[in-house]
Amino acid sequence: MRYFIYLRFDGTRYCGWQIQPGAPSVQETLEKALTLFLRREIQVVGAGRTDAGVHAGLMVAHFDLDSPASTHWMVSKLNGILPDDIGVLKIVPVRSNAHARFDAVARTYRYYVTLDKDPFERAYSWRLPNRPDFEAMNRAAQLLLQTADFTSFSKLHTDTKTNNCRVTEARWTELRPGAWAFTITADRFLRNMVRAVVGTLMEVGRHKITLEEFAGIVKAHDRCKAGDSAPAQGLFLENVAYPDRIFEV
């Protein structure tokens, strides 16, 4: 029996989602909790990777059991075992061939910035010294909807077979005076892609590069042409979408 587990986490003290030797990861922590209370070795497959220090308002993963179990019971037990910075929202049965990564049709990330020095938000947003030109940044962001190859915003030397992505949403919105968020939705994302996009858009907002130069960076297919990656703490994975058919068990 296959299940999708929906969770959220504060990524501050983790090396990211994926298991890595000698460093705590969200995946490893979740697998240990599942293995402990189910009394059998459980492996989970996530909808994607998150970098060190990146958070998730919603992450999805799948795991298998030999027989059906009470999802309410599993959620309660897991939340009693997991550390305070990881919380399970729900567990749902899915088709036996459903895949948390490959069946996802869209993912949404949100990046938070602020002008305020708020000690309670320092681990969850990027504090900017001055207000950038968000109008110019939004004009540049619209070019991403017309882009297929995102090599300029991909981490170098990865094992990805293609750098093509289909972005369907990319925009900055003001949340309140002094605070903004960049929301981007795509069918898939490359490693470090969102942080590289945000860092390069910030160059537009600071008038260090023009809209035309941003377009040239996109077309260059060269990570060295783009700006520095934005800090990890402002980035959240906010949603992962799936087709209804995989829940028809």
Which residues participate in catalysis according to the annotation? Answer: 51
- 129 residue type, one letter: P
The answer for residues whose C-beta is within 8 angstroms of residue 157's C-beta and 6 or more apart is none
Cα separations (Å) of 130 from 93, 140, 178, 195?
Answer: 48, 19, 10, 19
- What the block records as the tokens of 200 is 């390069």
The pairing of strands 167-176 and 179-186 is antiparallel
- C-alpha 147/C-alpha 164 separation (Å) is 9
- C-alpha 114/C-alpha 126 separation (Å) is 6
The number of residues making up the chain comes to: 249
CA 152 from chain center: how many Å? 18
- Residue 174 β-bridge partners: 180
Q: Report how many helices (DSSP H) and strands (DSSP E) the chain contains, helices first.
A: 5, 9
Inter-residue contact 105 to 187 (CB < 8 Å): yes
Cα separations (Å) of 179 from 7, 138, 142, 146?
Answer: 26, 15, 21, 27
Inter-residue contact 152 to 220 (CB < 8 Å): yes
